[in-house]
Amino acid sequence: MTQDSSNDLKSWFVQEKRSFPWRDAPSPYAVWISEIMLQQTRASVVVGYFMRWMKLFPSIEAVAKAPVEELIKAWEGLGYYSRVRNIQKAAIFLQEKGSELPASLQELLELPGIGPYTAGAIVSFAFHQKAAAVDGNVARVISRYYGLEGEVKRSLLEEKTSLFLPEEEPWVVMEALIELGATLCQKTPKCKECPLQSSCEAHLQEKTEFIPAKKKKQDSIYLHKQVFIIMHEEEVLIEKKKEGQVLGGLMEFPSFPYSNEQEFIPSHFSFLMEWVEDLPQEKQSFTKYQVDLSSSIFRALEKKDIDGYKWIKIDSLTSLTFSSGHKRILQRLLEVNII
Ligand code: SF4
């Protein structure tokens, strides 16, 4: 049954597959970068980012040597900036060893930022070996195809995925499973168009609504922050979030837990400043945090250096990479025409 099904899926994929640059020329490096970019973003959106990245950083060596700010700038909009830092850490590690990306799952898993899915994808698509690459799409297809109800362990999904892969050209069927999950076997599946409909357990038992079992949503943490846009002549005070912190490496205006005190000014800004204007409230969300950002513009009457912050020329601000909420605040700031 599985052999016929994987043949059917392969024929469907050969006919229907979407063309993407990382598919058309699947070098190990291209597969690695594309798979990291695809982790939270739709393939159609990733295409532009991927093309730009490959032009700017065409090799592992180029990534290893690039200033991290340039990598973060090229990643801007994809979010999850720890991923881009891990790409560089892995590239530096490989350069120091004088090697390319390895073809073994074990060795790939030792590189920063490469987990079981990405390692499986590189081994399968770039090195054409039999390897299970189980992402959310594959987990959905495999759970439904085998009728796996309730919470299913990753090891079982990998085992079932491997069962599905033929000995001949297993990488084509692996990619077909991903494509099926991305196009037909979505949350609401299009079973009538699916090449697996005659043997898919969830479809035959009318259980597609319940398989895979819904995951419990992680509770969000709500925060409210006061953002200080402090200007002095042609400069604005900016904080670069420390590496290792949430949003590490990104730029933000100084911010502190919101206070109802009207005259609230953080104590370590020990210089005189006057309030100029409030900006509309913005929202920011990252990982489990939902943050309301109330921002105000202030004019500093004197300029002092403060640990952890930098005075940056106003006309350089747009070339920096801000976190998403603070990027919107920067746009508001530019719109009010105060600078
Ligand atoms: S038959 Fe339906 S549920 Fe089963 S794999 Fe195809 S699209 Fe998914």
Q: How far is CA 322 from CA 107, 155, 332, in A?
A: 34, 38, 13
Confidence of residue 75 (pLDDT cuts 50, 70, 90): very high
Domain encompassing residue 264: 221-335
Q: Tell me what the mean pLDDT of segment 184-188 comes to.
A: 96
Q: Does the pLDDT value for residue 264 go beyond 60?
A: no
- Count up the domains in the chain and report the number: 2
Residues 273, 246: one domain?
yes
Q: Is 202 in the pocket of ligand 1 (CB under 6 A)?
A: yes
CB 213 within 8 A of CB 151: yes
- What is the overall mean pLDDT for the chain? 90
In the prediction, which pLDDT does 337 show?
A: 66
Q: Cα separation of 326 and 227, whole Å?
A: 9
CA nearest 113: which of 146, 80, 139, 152? 80
Ligand 1 centroid vs 218 CA: distance in angstroms? Answer: 27
| Complete DSSP assignment for 197-265 | TTT-HHHHTT-TTTSSPPPPPPPPEEEEEEEEEEEETTEEEEEEPPTTSTTTT-EE--EEE----TT--
Q: Tell me what the mean pLDDT of segment 174-191 comes to.
A: 96
213 in any annotated domain = no
214 in any annotated domain = no
In the prediction, which pLDDT does 81 show?
A: 83
Residues 259, 322: one domain?
yes
In the prediction, which pLDDT does 240 show?
A: 82
In the prediction, which pLDDT does 262 show?
A: 54
Q: Tell me what the mean pLDDT of segment 296-302 comes to.
A: 89
In the prediction, which pLDDT does 287 show?
A: 78
Check whether the bond before 21 is cis (ω within 30° of 0).
Answer: no
The one catalytic residue in 16, 35, 100, 107 is 35
Residues 161, 17: one domain?
yes
Domain boundary among 151, 172, 204: 204
The answer to whether 243 is a known catalytic residue is: no
CA nearest 129: which of 162, 87, 156? 162
Q: Which residue has the higher pLDDT, 291 or 287?
A: 291
Q: Tell me whether strands 289-300 and 273-286 are parallel, antiparallel or unpaired.
A: antiparallel
210 in any annotated domain = no
Q: Is 194 in the pocket of ligand 1 (CB under 6 A)?
A: yes
211 in any annotated domain = no
**How big is the CA angle at 39 (ends 190 and 93), to the nearest 5 degrees?**
150
Q: Cα separation of 204 and 197, whole Å?
A: 8
Residues 30, 79: one domain?
yes
Residues 190, 96: one domain?
yes
Confidence of residue 216 (pLDDT cuts 50, 70, 90): confident
Q: List pLDDT tens digits, range 96-120.
A: 998 899 999 999 999 999 999 999 9
Residues 11, 157: one domain?
yes
Confidence of residue 261 (pLDDT cuts 50, 70, 90): low
Q: How many CB atoms lie within 10 A of CB 118?
A: 22
Confidence of residue 267 (pLDDT cuts 50, 70, 90): low
The residue behind tokens 């500093």 is: 300
The residue behind tokens 């801000």 is: 322
CA nearest 130: which of 178, 82, 166, 93? 166
Instruction: Give first-to-last CA distance, the chain, whole Å.
Output: 68
Residues 149, 239: one domain?
no
CA nearest 154: which of 169, 130, 134, 178? 134
Q: Is 146 in the pocket of ligand 1 (CB under 6 A)?
A: no
Domain boundary among 204, 238, 265: 204
For ligand 1, what atom is nearest to the CA of residue 195? 6
**What CATH number has the domain bearing residue 299?**
3.90.79.10
Residues 149, 46: one domain?
yes
CB 37 within 8 A of CB 50: yes
**What CATH number has the domain bearing residue 96?**
1.10.340.30
Residues 179, 238: one domain?
no
Ligand 1 mutation target, pool 9, 143, 144, most atoms within 8 A of CB: 144
